Amino acid sequence: MRFAPAAIALSLVLATVSSTGIGQPVRYSVNPASQLLVDEGARVQAAGKLDEANGLYEAALAVDPGNRAAYIALAQVASAQNLPGKAIRYYREALRIDPNDVAALAGQGEAMIQRGAVEKARRNLVRIEAICNSGCTEAGRLLAAIDKAAAKPVLSAEAVASTPTVTEQP
């Protein structure tokens, strides 16, 4: 009982000191070997070898799971392969590392448009505009993609799917 005031005071000091860095962004240093794999993957991707680039990006993540550039590159490969769901997931991982990455927000918005989720893409555009005070190229790119998607006619399920006719048997 005689140590209670000292224990309370010590716990308050520790709680205050440990909570001072919670709101500040963490600066993460990427492993150089992982960055070399991402750079090699970008070279291979530019040559059109998407599967090989995908392998290099995954290897980069095996070396350093916090490499945000590798997640973004994997998402770009998935988008190029017409896999928007996979791209959205990779962009989400990149945004988990840095929620204010405008390139990841714009890419995720474009992948959402591929899936038909234009309203979610607009939310990403609002976030990008909030982050970028002056005009960002990413905001313009996403806005153009949203406008292009809005210009396409929406087809109803009846117009797309054909219904089989049922004939009665005597």
Model's pTM, two decimal places? 0.70
Higher pLDDT, 161 or 140: 140
> Percent of the chain at pLDDT above 90?
44
Where are the domains positioned within the chain? Answer: 30-98, 100-152
Q: How many CB atoms lie within 10 A of CB 141?
A: 17
- Residues 75-104, mean pLDDT to the nearest whole number: 92
The rounded percent of the chain whose pLDDT value lies above 70 is 73
pLDDT score for 21 = 47
The answer to whether 61 and 67 have CB atoms below 8 angstroms apart is: yes
Q: Give the residue ranges of DSSP H helices in the chain.
A: 4-18, 32-46, 50-63, 68-80, 84-97, 102-115, 118-131, 137-151, 157-160
pLDDT confidence tier of residue 53, bands split at 50, 70 and 90: very high
Q: What is the rounded average pLDDT of the residues 11-27?
A: 49
Is residue 127 within 8 A of residue 103, CB to CB? The reply is: no
Instruction: Return the DSSP state at 31.
Output: P
36, 70 contact by CB (below 8 A): no
Q: Is the pLDDT of residue 90 over 50?
A: yes
The CA distance from 153 to 51, in Å, is 34
Between CA 156 and CA 162 the distance in angstroms is: 11
Is a pLDDT exceeding 60 seen at residue 64?
A: yes
For 30-98, the fitting CATH number among 3.40.50.300, 2.120.10.90, 1.25.40.10, 1.10.1370.40 is 1.25.40.10
Assess contact for 66 and 97: CB atoms under 8 A. Answer: yes
